[in-house]
Structure 1
């Protein structure tokens, strides 16, 4: 399977999840707006979600995948199974202790870390504590699921792990539809959503567990022991957890700071949903596929293949992310108005969320490039260097957020996040180059500026197109007219961008088709002709 086809396999599941996520957010915005229940739910859900990124996705994609893949090559499937059981025993035991401790400490955690600004509102504070307590066991399900997803990715079985997150949104959409049909009030909807999150964690865990069994590996529980393999995993996973969850860490910090202002927390969460679409579909897909591929190339001593994988991945990232960033920057307001502005979500909410989304768009390429750069470290079992850069990013984010929030409000949080993201991405790239782990690539250097130019021209066209379609994009138009105008504007922008990218040479259609057809063991395309 070619590299781009692997990206597409993972991205298809992520795309389905993100599209359903938009549906979920539209229903939540109509039901809860940016009011206190929405603020409490988003703050409460962000906490277990942050731990999921720290201890599950980040740590296991960075540390577990290379070690598990090595076990397969050295000791076969039996060795891989023994290693997975050793890890499962330790992970399960740690998660049980962590979950119980967090449940007991939740009132203190909400008052000091999750949403300190809510402490002044007892009703909102109590609701946040209750919802966070219900949802925190979701972490346990997702952490165990992430381990099994890592096993599937190492075995090049990507789809089950990619499709499992879809069920979070399916379950929450069902909850919201039922709440609308039965006429439940906002407080009841908040509790319903929290229980829906927990149920989705159990469903997702079941999906990947079944997929692992079908792949021929049965993971049994063993008494937790710190074997040499487990110690090596923990040594790699600790810094990788911080690195892999850096975006989520910055989001958690921003949420804590924003909790001091009404409407800020849900507004940030609703804007976050939009830039998470390209980040998830492109960035996470690239990170999941690139890490095991890089690890295999490096273990085989094929540095040329490894360098080509990295350059083609960055090219692919830029090809899809730059136009997305330009579009979100230019047409953020009509996007938010058409998709969110109804029910409890007002025109003032549209203005606030759109301003945040425009700023997030400026940081989007950096957020996705981080996902493409970090496998270059993780595949070499270096998880500490990215951790140091993540620490710099967090320090920048905190400093800027605290500085800008008093004057700019929630948009100041977005500025801090975007700047921190770019600093992190540039540091990762600079050190890869300095160490000789990123070779000069003529194809990438030629095409990247052309992709920037094509995206900029598309953005200019969208600006004038937005003015042309203004009568059908405004709040006075019907929903059908708004959706039609937005869809037409978006499709025209996409068509223009792809035409410009291929005409200017920013993308090469022949190379894309060759990459889709390439099978393992075939020669990799030369750098000059590789796919975007």
Structure 2
């Protein structure tokens, strides 16, 4: 299967999840606005979600995948199953202890790490503690699920892992609909949503577990032992967890700082949900597909294929994220009006703040996605230390800027710090890859990047003029259908203009796209032949 088709397979599941995520956030904004219950829920959910990215996606999609791919190449399904059972036994045991410890320490954690600013409001503080305690076991389900997802990705079965997160949004939308139908108050909605998150974790784990069994690998529980394979995994996983979850670390820091200002936490969360659409669809697709493909190419000694994989991934990333960044920056306010401006959100007059945060996140979007395209170049070579050092520098930059800007700018200052830190991290990753000779210089790519930037800038200018021309139809008082139609026409016109410009000035090459669609990856070893029949692979 071609690289682009693999990206599309993962992106389709992620897109479904993100669209439903929009629906969920629209319903939540209408039900809770940016009030105290919303602040408490978003702060509480941020904590297990951050740990999920650190210990689940961060560690296992970076440290586990290359080792699992090596086991497949060396010993086929039997070797991969033994390795997975060794890891599963240790991971399950560690997660049990972490969950118990965090549940017991939750009041302390909320007051010192999650939302120290809430301690001045006992009602909001106690609610945050209760919601975080309900939702934290979600981490255990998602960590085990991430291991299963890493196995599926290594076996080139991408769809199940990509579609599983859809069920978090399906369940939460169901909870919100029931709450609306029952006429529940805000406090009840907060508690029901927390239990919905916990239920979604169980469902997501079940989906990937069944998919792994269907792929021909049945994992049994083994007594946890520190085998050589497990020691190697842990050695790689700790720095990989920090690096892979850098965006979430910065968000957790931002949430803690924002907790000192009313409505800042929920404003950041609502803006984050919008820019997560392009970040998730493109960035997660690239990260999930590129790492196992790059690991296989390097293990097989195919240096040319590895260089081509990296270049095509960056080209694909920039081709889609640069126009998205321009659009989020220029028309953030009409987007926020359409998505959120109703019910409690409209009454709180939060649109200008959320729109400003979204525009700043838009400027950092290419960096956030490029990080996901650059880090596999290190992880596939089992170098997790270098990206961890860069991640630590990025966190330091984020903290310093957030503390400096928040007093004068409020929540937009935290978004500014996060975007700047993202660009610092991305540039450091690229420079060192080039210096080590791990990034193949390709003249065609170097020529295309400035042309893609120019096409995106021209599209952004057109969107700016278009939004002013359609201002009466995009205004707060316009009917929802009118706003949706006007914004839809504006976005459609921008897309047509961008793609026309990109191909006309040489930012994209139609022949290259055709070749990439036809290019097929290295075959899966015969020991993993059951994968061949998977329609999603």
TM-score in same-fold range (> 0.5): yes
Structure 1 unaligned spans of 5+: 523-532
Q: Does 1:409 align with 2:410?
A: yes
Structure 2 unaligned spans of 5+: 524-537
* Alignment map for 1:8-87 (pairs within 5 Å): 8-87=8-87
The aligned counterpart of 1:181 is 181
Q: Does 1:256 align with 2:226?
A: no
The aligned counterpart of 1:107 is 107
- The answer to whether the 8 Å contact 2:168/2:200 transfers is yes
The aligned counterpart of 2:527 is none
CA distance in structure 1 between the aligned counterparts of 2:73 and 2:421, rounded to whole angstroms: 39
Deviations 1:180-211 (A, max 9, x none): 01100000000000000000000000000000
The aligned counterpart of 2:534 is none
CA distance in structure 2 between the aligned counterparts of 1:38 and 1:389, rounded to whole angstroms: 33
CA distance in structure 2 between the aligned counterparts of 1:218 and 1:297, rounded to whole angstroms: 27
Deviations 1:114-148 (A, max 9, x none): 00000000000000000000000000000000000
Q: CA deviation at 1:442?
A: 0.8
Q: CA deviation at 1:304?
A: 1.2
CA distance in structure 2 between the aligned counterparts of 1:8 and 1:513, rounded to whole angstroms: 14
The aligned counterpart of 2:143 is 143
CA distance in structure 2 between the aligned counterparts of 1:22 and 1:476, rounded to whole angstroms: 22
CA distance in structure 2 between the aligned counterparts of 1:258 and 1:519, rounded to whole angstroms: 47
Instruction: Give the SS at the match of 2:54.
Output: helix
Q: Does 1:301 align with 2:301?
A: yes
Instruction: Give the SS at the match of 2:119.
Output: helix
Instruction: Give the SS at the match of 1:41.
Output: helix
Instruction: Give the SS at the match of 1:345.
Output: helix
| Range 69-78 or range 138-147, more displaced | 69-78
The aligned counterpart of 2:273 is 273
Q: CA deviation at 1:519?
A: 2.1
Instruction: Give the SS at the match of 1:344.
Output: helix
Q: CA deviation at 1:303?
A: 1.0
The aligned counterpart of 2:328 is 328
The aligned counterpart of 1:525 is none
CA distance in structure 2 between the aligned counterparts of 1:117 and 1:290, rounded to whole angstroms: 40
The aligned counterpart of 2:517 is 516
Deviations 1:88-120 (A, max 9, x none): 000000000000000000000000000000000
- The answer to whether the 8 Å contact 2:168/2:201 transfers is yes
The aligned counterpart of 2:531 is none
Q: CA deviation at 1:87?
A: 0.2
The aligned counterpart of 2:369 is 368
Instruction: Give the SS at the match of 2:344.
Output: coil
- The answer to whether the 8 Å contact 2:3/2:521 transfers is no
CA distance in structure 2 between the aligned counterparts of 1:228 and 1:43, rounded to whole angstroms: 39
CA distance in structure 2 between the aligned counterparts of 1:370 and 1:117, rounded to whole angstroms: 31
Instruction: Give the SS at the match of 2:349.
Output: helix
Q: CA deviation at 1:275?
A: 1.1
CA distance in structure 2 between the aligned counterparts of 1:422 and 1:431, rounded to whole angstroms: 14
Instruction: Give the SS at the match of 2:508.
Output: coil
- The answer to whether the 8 Å contact 2:85/2:220 transfers is yes
* Alignment map for 1:280-299 (pairs within 5 Å): 280-299=280-299
Instruction: Give the SS at the match of 2:105.
Output: helix
The aligned counterpart of 1:97 is 97
CA distance in structure 2 between the aligned counterparts of 1:183 and 1:495, rounded to whole angstroms: 44
Deviations 1:329-365 (A, max 9, x none): 0000000011100000127300000000111111111
CA distance in structure 2 between the aligned counterparts of 1:182 and 1:494, rounded to whole angstroms: 41
* Alignment map for 1:381-400 (pairs within 5 Å): 381-400=382-401
The aligned counterpart of 1:425 is 426
Instruction: Give the SS at the match of 2:267.
Output: helix
Q: Does 1:220 align with 2:212?
A: no
Q: CA deviation at 1:511?
A: 1.7
The aligned counterpart of 1:528 is none
Q: CA deviation at 1:521?
A: 4.7
4+ runs deviating over 4 angstroms: none
The aligned counterpart of 2:466 is 465
The aligned counterpart of 1:488 is 489
The aligned counterpart of 2:530 is none
Instruction: Give the SS at the match of 2:521.
Output: coil
The aligned counterpart of 2:130 is 130
CA distance in structure 2 between the aligned counterparts of 1:253 and 1:372, rounded to whole angstroms: 24
Number of matched pairs: 522
The aligned counterpart of 1:438 is 439
